[in-house]
Amino acid sequence: MIAIYARVSTEEQAKHGFSISAQIRECQALVESQATLTFIDEGFSGETLQRPALEELRQKIQAGEINTVLCLDPDRLSRKLLHQLLLTEEWEKRGVELSFVHGDYSKTPEGNLFYALRGAISEFEKAKITERMCRGRREKARQGRVLRDFQIYGYDYDSENEQLVVNLNEAKVVEHIFNWYLNPPRGVGGISSIALTLTSQGVPTKRGAKQWHRQVVRQILSNPTYIGEFYQNKWDTTNSQVRLRPVQEWILIPCPSIIEPKVFHRVQEKLSVNSRS
């Protein structure tokens, strides 16, 4: 059986108009009327092998159901040279032929070199695009613009002005959470109890869920956005990892406050004491 693999990331689709249907059409033209199975990863980055359709394709190859894989271009298969070579070696061991519409891959030294160079160039281009986009986002942040909707409870995202604006209904809930934590009313004693109270009162979360969790309440209590200090460029998500950047790299974006600074700092002191306890 011949397998056609097509992929496009959300970024590529938005910026360059890569079309899944066009990829399949060009691959199908090479096999004409022969039966094919189509594997499509739409909205997935080529920097990782953790893609649903690709994983299904590998499973079918392992089961001996596929003898040929056809792809438009090597970078549709993967943006990383190491991953490209890993897949081709894995499939060749099972007798599967890998072909591309753009760029012939053969087992000759010249073919291997060409394939390796194509992969290296693709990876380099991706790195450059990522670097330019990150630089552009940092510049926007330095101009005081909020880059996207970060789904912060108590705020809505004004996409036209690229700013956070207070959601009055949610802001009242935020005020209750801080007040309940500092001065617990009868029946409310601590973060878990606050979460249970909000759930029992039918208050929806930011994403519309019916149940509040302890960690969500704690995140609200720890978020300095509520005193008008929203930070961007705080997290580094490159290389498929998430890590906290050094504080000096954070970019402060002033925003409307919901909680008084003295109240917020009292909450942080109490959180710290409870955490040590």
Q: What is the pLDDT of residues 3-26, one digit of tens each?
A: 999 998 876 654 555 688 888 988
Shared domain for 78 and 25, answered yes or no, is yes
* 38 sits in which H/E element: strand 36-42
Q: Would the pLDDT of 131 be above 70?
A: yes
Q: Would the pLDDT of 138 be above 60?
A: yes
Shared domain for 123 and 12, answered yes or no, is yes
pLDDT, tens digit, 9 for 90 and up, residues 184-206:
888 787 899 999 999 999 999 99
Annotated active-site residue in 9, 99, 122, 275? 9
Shared domain for 59 and 89, answered yes or no, is yes
**Joined tokens for residue 30:** 């090479």
128 vs 251: which has the higher pLDDT: 251
Shared domain for 172 and 100, answered yes or no, is no
Q: Among this protein's residues, is 9 annotated catalytic?
A: yes
Q: Is 43 left (phi over 0), alpha (psi -120 to 50) or beta?
A: left
107 vs 273: which has the higher pLDDT: 273
CATH of the domain at 213: 3.90.1750.20
Domain of residue 150 covers: 144-276
Q: What is the mean pLDDT of the chain?
A: 86
Shared domain for 152 and 255, answered yes or no, is yes
pTM value is 0.53
Question: How many structural domains does the chain have?
Answer: 2
DSSP string of 106-157? -SSHHHHHHHHHHHHHHHHHHHHHHHHHHHHHHHHHHTT---S----TTEEE
Domain boundary among 94, 111, 135: 135
Residue 271 and residue 191: Cα distance in Å, rounded? 10
For 86-124, give one letter per residue: b (16+ CB within 10 A) or e.
Answer: ebbeebeeeebebbbbebebeeeeeeeebbeebbeebbe
